[in-house]
Amino acid sequence: MRHTPPASREYTPPVPVPYPGRTATCIRQNMWLSGPELPLRSHVTACITLYNEPLRVLLPTLISLIENHHHMKTRRPAGEPLVSCLLIDGEAHLHPEVRALLLALGWTPSFPAAPSDDNSVHIQHLSLSLDTLHTALNLPADGDARPMPLLIAAKQHNRGKLDSHAWFFRHICRLITPDYILQIDAGSIPAANCLPLLLDHMALRPDCGALAARIVTRPPSGLNPVTNWQYGDFIWEKITDWPVSNLLRYMEVVPGQCSLIRYSTFCSSHDAVATPMHRYLRGLAAQGLLERNQFLAEDRVLGFEIVNAPHHQATTEYEPNAVLETDPCPTFAELVRQRRRWINSTLAVRIATLSALPALLRHAALSPMRKLEILLSMLWNYSQLLTLFVFPALMAVICSLTVNRLVPASMNGLPASQPLGSFAAGGFILFWAGILLCSRIYSVSSPWGLRLHRLLASLLAVTINLLLVTGPVLQLFWHYPGGSLSLLALVLLAVALHSPDHFHNLWRFILLYFPLFTSFSFYLTSYALANFSDTSWGTKGLLHGKTTRRWSMIRDGMLIFWVVAASIMAAWVIALGEQAAVAVITGMVIFTLARYVVAILCSVSALFRKPITFAERFPWRHRLDGEL
């Protein structure tokens, strides 16, 4: 007996039809179902989107989901606590190793006849256990045959991640109505208790619409600056950025690596057109440069759509005790492409959110206190944006002061009205403008462009670190040793409490992350904005977007405005004199440190549960490493 979906105007009654190799049911036009009967409901339905990721990326994700399913089954024996759905974005693009594994598990990779320009989805219901995985991989049986329901939904054509989400939210969730949706990427490895902790948080917060896990990368084994920078950046972000947004219950990012979404909040409304899901899926037909950039990283869009739900008050939050390990970008080029999408999407979403602010303030379903929380969270995020905007001007001023102090006026060889520091400041602005120009012309996707950007990023890192070490910033810390030591102790305490498993890698923070923290973040932001007109999706260049002349002109206007504004700000501060310039730098340093102190205090206050070890979080990880 085949599963019959709930009545809906989008569905026609199931019609059994011939299907190569097995019996299939036509659920609706271009959507087919085969395999055992599906459960009508699940507590959690996980959505794993898959393109061409290799087996070594997908396999740990599947194993960790099985572990979470078993963990939940002990607490919820009735019904299905977790149903996992593997959404294949274009059957022809599957990695050969992944295809071989799915075939060994019983997958049938053939489609009914369909027009070549039309997409079809074939859903197959299988059971997955550690035993079946080991058998499919020709490994000794694990001895654990407890099954987890697995849906393999194969799209005939590659249409992108958002299209996969449309199939999942609009159609698959109608087949198995979930209480919660787990959004997770291939390559993400949730700890054995990650999902139960997320569910516990959701149960305590009935108004929580979406919940993010604490996402980290595995400690690198070598000295590669790319992987070490990502390792430090993921941890530093959770200490100095997310805690404040979590306190205000508005996380603007609902991360695609791992987040739990309440289905009733996301998909239910008195007006179907006004659901957060419907507004989120508008990206399938995104119009204009700003909207296309928003959906370069669609998880940046989800946060505001959920808190702006039309008929009820919802929050987006963060559970720091639910740990998930994600795979970092292994190369410099992949990291730059990934951060281009993330940075441009974040900027576009913040611009769009600002334009939607008047309507949000008139939102009848939101209480005045809730509106204040959202406003404060937005101000927190915009303060970070402000810091990045004035950073080149600030560095130009620091460059001017440093050169004037290192080179006495008698050695300048210039009139007093033309100190060497002013020329040094102008040189820094020109150097940065050259980086923007090179980023605009040369992409990291070409061999020549990749070598050029590596060189420029290295030169920028050396320049900024020399200015910070020899300039007035370091002198501020020497003048206030008590405050500097207190800040260092607070940072160490936050790292120790927030990531106890990573404390022994503190030297990586000190030697490999912090020296690159400022310069690399600035370089990635500059590259991203220099390519704001590029709306292609994919860290590995999976899909390519179009770029119009008008979009290029908008991008050029943004870059010119940034360079001119930075030049004017730097010239104005330098013209005020050395004392005023030092006061401005001191103010910006205090402002930045104050943000960090507030965030670290929020981070420390949120971590009162007993920490557990890496082996307890990932009990199967070391065994898997030995078998593969």
Would the CA dihedral through 204, 235, 432, 565 be positive or negative? positive
63 within 8 A of 624, measured Cβ to Cβ: yes
3-state SS, 281-335, equals HHHHHCCHHHHHHHHHHCHHHHHHHHHCCCCCCCEEEEEEEEEEEECCCCCHHHH
Mean pLDDT calculated for residue range 247-272 = 86
pLDDT band at 421, cuts 50/70/90?
Answer: confident
Residue 26 has pLDDT above 90, yes or no: no
pLDDT band at 181, cuts 50/70/90?
Answer: very high
Mean pLDDT calculated for residue range 579-593 = 89
pLDDT of residue 22: 41
Residue 202 has pLDDT above 60, yes or no: yes
pLDDT band at 622, cuts 50/70/90?
Answer: very low
Which of 22-31, 157-166, 425-434 has maximum average pLDDT? 425-434
**C-alpha distance from residue 228 to each of 52, 189, 507, 509, 579 (Å):** 25, 19, 11, 8, 38
Least confident of 29-43, 253-267, 401-415, 513-527: 401-415
- Higher pLDDT pick, 369 / 147: 369
pLDDT band at 353, cuts 50/70/90?
Answer: very high
pLDDT of residue 274: 73
Residue 2 has pLDDT above 50, yes or no: no
Mean pLDDT calculated for residue range 132-149 = 77
pLDDT of residue 117: 63
pLDDT band at 135, cuts 50/70/90?
Answer: confident
pLDDT band at 344, cuts 50/70/90?
Answer: very high
Q: What span, in angstroms and rounded, lies between the C-alpha atoms of 298 and 305?
A: 11
Q: What span, in angstroms and rounded, lies between the C-alpha atoms of 304 and 309?
A: 9
pTM of structure: 0.87
Residue 426 has pLDDT above 80, yes or no: yes
pLDDT of residue 608: 56
- Higher pLDDT pick, 608 / 85: 85
pLDDT band at 326, cuts 50/70/90?
Answer: very high
Indicate the average pLDDT of the chain. Answer: 83
Closest to 16 measured CA to CA, from 30, 43, 34: 34
Least confident of 76-90, 183-197, 352-366, 403-417: 403-417
Residue 611 has pLDDT above 80, yes or no: no
pLDDT of residue 284: 87
Q: What span, in angstroms and rounded, lies between the C-alpha atoms of 402 and 176?
A: 64
Residues 281-290 have pLDDT tens digits of 988 887 889 9
Residues 457-500 have pLDDT tens digits of 999 999 999 998 887 777 777 666 666 677 777 777 777 666 66
Q: What span, in angstroms and rounded, lies between the C-alpha atoms of 270 and 246?
A: 28
Residues 62-110 have pLDDT tens digits of 999 998 988 888 776 666 689 999 999 888 888 999 999 999 888 887 6
Residues 211-233 have pLDDT tens digits of 999 999 988 888 899 999 999 99
Residues 530-546 have pLDDT tens digits of 999 888 775 444 445 55
Residues 386-398 have pLDDT tens digits of 999 999 999 999 9
Least confident of 91-100, 135-144, 191-200, 589-598: 135-144
Residue 621 has pLDDT above 70, yes or no: no
Percent of the chain with pLDDT over 90: 45
CA–centroid distance for 140 within its chain? 36
Percent of the chain with pLDDT over 70: 82
Least confident of 202-211, 280-289, 293-302, 407-416: 407-416
Residues 312-322 have pLDDT tens digits of 789 999 998 89
**Contacts of range 352-355, beta carbons closer than 8 Å, 24 or more positions apart:** 352/290, 352/291, 352/294, 352/304, 353/252, 353/304, 353/378, 354/378, 354/382
pLDDT band at 607, cuts 50/70/90?
Answer: low
Q: What span, in angstroms and rounded, lies between the C-alpha atoms of 560 and 367?
A: 41
Straight-line distance from the first to the last Cα atom of the chain, in angstroms, rounded to the nearest whole number: 39
pLDDT of residue 12: 36
Residue 593 has pLDDT above 90, yes or no: no
180 within 8 A of 258, measured Cβ to Cβ: no
pLDDT band at 414, cuts 50/70/90?
Answer: low
Paired tokens of 580 = 């005023």
pLDDT of residue 601: 82
Closest to 396 measured CA to CA, from 474, 475, 463: 463
128 within 8 A of 150, measured Cβ to Cβ: yes
Pairing, β 121-128 against β 31-34: parallel
Domain ranges in the chain? 1-103+120-187, 388-614
Least confident of 246-260, 269-283, 489-503: 489-503
Paired tokens of 527 = 């590259």
69 within 8 A of 148, measured Cβ to Cβ: yes
pLDDT band at 180, cuts 50/70/90?
Answer: very high
Residues 6+ apart with CB under 8 A from 111: 91, 120, 122, 154, 156
